Amino acid sequence: MPETAPQQDWLWSIESLRGVAIIAVVVIHVSSIVTSLTPTARSWEMYVAVNRLSSFAVPLFIFLSALTATHIFYRRPGRSWRVFYARRWQQVGVPYLIWSIFYLFYRFGSLGENHTIFYQPFEWSGWTFLGKSYYHMYFFPIVIQLYLLFPLLIAFYRLRSWRFGTFVGLFALAELAFYFLNRAYLYHRFPYSATLLTSYLPLVAAGIWLGAHVGEWSIWWRVWRWPSLVFATVGGGIYWWLYRLVFAGQPVNTLIVQGAWWVYSTGVALLLWGLANSSVIRHLSLKWLARIGSVSFGIYLMHPLFLNEWRRLLPVGTGWSFHLNNLAGFLCIFFASWGMTLFLQRVAVGRYLLGEPRQSQPGPIKLEEKWNVY
């Protein structure tokens, strides 16, 4: 595989987009207060737009996970699968189990939910497996599925020399087929399709293709920059418009809503990736965004805890106090999560909680050192 993109530029691109994604995640959860507004409220339209147009966040994380896993696979072809999975267990599996248990105790202890689930091991272990210990944990089973299926995905990719549009389009058709299968049969028996990788197949395909074609990114961008922009704007516009109806309690066609979201989230991921690696963006100083991305894992894990406590201590008001509460809440929650992540990076237990690689010296790991162990 030809590799002409400088390693340092590639690292900063990945972490910068993780920074964008984690900002959008926190925006989604803070702006979810829109469900308490009536459609006649003057700010309702704004909160709907902010909430729904930030929904590219988790798909972007999944796209980046597929891209980095593939790039590392091709960059280190002699690496065994045992090493690959040992690293993923440390990076994702251990933190996921620890935080799942923490949030179960938080829900049934601090929040006072029905604690009888603790006397039903099959029930709470199932919740943990499906990422149901808290509302944001669903992301982890999806990433774990990506890693478990990664050898098969790579084997399929290597069957032939795929064009980008063909490869992504094939996975999009597979996702559409799964949608109908789920609606007709699976959902009635397994109503947790949101925790399955099958909701993100085009993004996975795009990540695999781009991860395997590092030296062709500039050529790819010249071809796909305008289609990516069209997907993001048209898909996002339709998705936002339909969700206005959803939040207003009106019926909508779920296939169109889901399809618009697929197009929008895929378009945004491709657009942001192309921009992050373009010569224009590289001339900008975005190291602050990459630094946010380097702590995005910790912010993702902890921000719901700070958000819930913020809303318990400072209930939202009305009028301008409502908007100020949400803005101040976003800033406090974001920086509190960031600060706690930096603290955990400086203590021994932090590497288990954050999935950080083993270090000889305590403190935040340098970006280059972090990626050398992948």
Continuous segment of H or E residues that includes residue 226: helix 217-247
Note whether residue 307 is domain-resident.
Answer: yes
pLDDT in 10s for each residue of the chain, 374 residues: 434 445 556 788 899 999 999 999 999 999 998 877 777 777 888 999 999 999 999 999 999 999 999 998 888 777 789 999 999 999 999 999 999 989 988 887 765 666 666 666 656 666 777 888 889 999 999 999 999 999 999 999 999 999 999 999 999 999 999 999 998 888 888 888 888 999 999 999 999 999 999 888 889 999 999 999 999 999 999 999 999 999 888 999 999 999 999 999 999 999 999 998 876 666 566 778 989 999 999 999 999 999 999 988 877 766 778 888 899 999 999 999 999 999 999 998 998 999 976 554 444 555 544 544 44
Angle at 28 between CA 99 and CA 149, to 5 degrees: 55
- Alpha-helical regions (H) of 32-163: 44-53, 57-75, 81-88, 94-105, 121-129, 139-157
Note whether residue 216 is domain-resident.
Answer: yes
Between CA 21 and CA 23 the distance in angstroms is 5
Note whether residue 213 is domain-resident.
Answer: yes
Q: Which of 282, 153, 164, 272 is closest to 216 using CA atoms?
A: 164
Note whether residue 172 is domain-resident.
Answer: yes
Domains: count for the chain: 1
- Residue 101 carries which side chain, given as an amino acid letter? I
Note whether residue 1 is domain-resident.
Answer: no
Query: Could you tell me if 231 and 195 are in contact, meaning their C-beta atoms sit under 8 angstroms apart?
Result: no
Note whether residue 2 is domain-resident.
Answer: no
Note whether residue 155 is domain-resident.
Answer: yes
Between CA 38 and CA 249 the distance in angstroms is 10
Note whether residue 274 is domain-resident.
Answer: yes
Query: Could you tell me if 208 and 157 are in contact, meaning their C-beta atoms sit under 8 angstroms apart?
Result: yes
Query: Could you tell me if 33 and 333 are in contact, meaning their C-beta atoms sit under 8 angstroms apart?
Result: no
Residue ranges making up the domain that contains 95: 7-372
For 157, other C-beta atoms within 10 Å of its C-beta total 17
